[in-house]
């Protein structure tokens, strides 16, 4: 299956074909408004503003599966992101990224590039321990470790990289620039 075979639910409830983004470099991200990584919205918006005219899109999928850090409605989440971070990139309706109801896009991407850990360091090890507890309930269908996991898709719809929320955003931007 190709990324372009998937659809996503827009904030207005309509279905968006991801094939609408064919020929663009995509950064698919599961997000949350009440997470320690939420400030990454600012960096994502900066990247979007810098590269969108070159064919770059950030596709934002809020998710409330990680310690209930995205509890609001789709409208509340969207308002928070646009007012606090000035986001202009496409934001979709809230999704599950783990478990039986995981959005097939995330299941597919994460199966192709599985979670390999949050990296070294005390903070990352603490997050890994906390995430492991939180994600036990998903068993074999635990595809995503935490909020702000990012998947980089090239212009041909091929998955080229996975970035965990603990990865340096400068590395994410460098990979985006190279893909463009």
Q: Which residues are catalytic?
A: 35
Q: Evaluate whether 71 touches 101 at the Cβ level (below 8 Å).
A: no
Three-class DSSP category at 107: helix
**Nearest by Cα to 57 from 48, 65, 49, 66:** 48
- Taking alpha carbons only, the member of 33, 6, 34 closest to residue 20 is 6
Is-contact 110 67, C-beta < 8 A?
A: no
Interhelix angle 40-51/169-179, rounded to 10 degrees, is 20
CA distance 67 to 161: 26
Give the DSSP H or E segment for 31: strand 25-31
């Amino acid at each position: 299956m190709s990324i372009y075979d998937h659809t996503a639910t827009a904030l207005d409830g309509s279905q968006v074909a991801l094939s609408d983004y064919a020929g663009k470099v995509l950064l698919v991200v599961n997000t949350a408004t009440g997470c320690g990584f939420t400030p990454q919205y600012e960096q994502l918006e900066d990247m979007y503003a810098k590269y969108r005219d070159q064919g770059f899109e950030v596709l934002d999928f809020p998710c409330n599966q990680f310690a209930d850090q995205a509890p609001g409605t789709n409208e509340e989440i969207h308002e928070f992101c646009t007012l606090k971070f000035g986001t202009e990139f496409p934001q979709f309706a809230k999704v599950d990224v783990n478990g039986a109801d995981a959005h097939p896009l995330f299941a597919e991407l994460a199966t192709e590039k599985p979670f390999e850990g949050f990296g070294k360091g005390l903070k990352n090890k603490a997050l890994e321990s906390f995430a492991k507890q939180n994600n036990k309930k998903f068993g074999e269908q635990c595809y995503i470790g935490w909020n702000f996991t990012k998947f980089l898709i090239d212009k041909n719809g091929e998955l080229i990289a996975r970035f965990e929320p603990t990865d340096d955003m400068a590395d994410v931007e460098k990979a985006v620039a190279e893909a463009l």
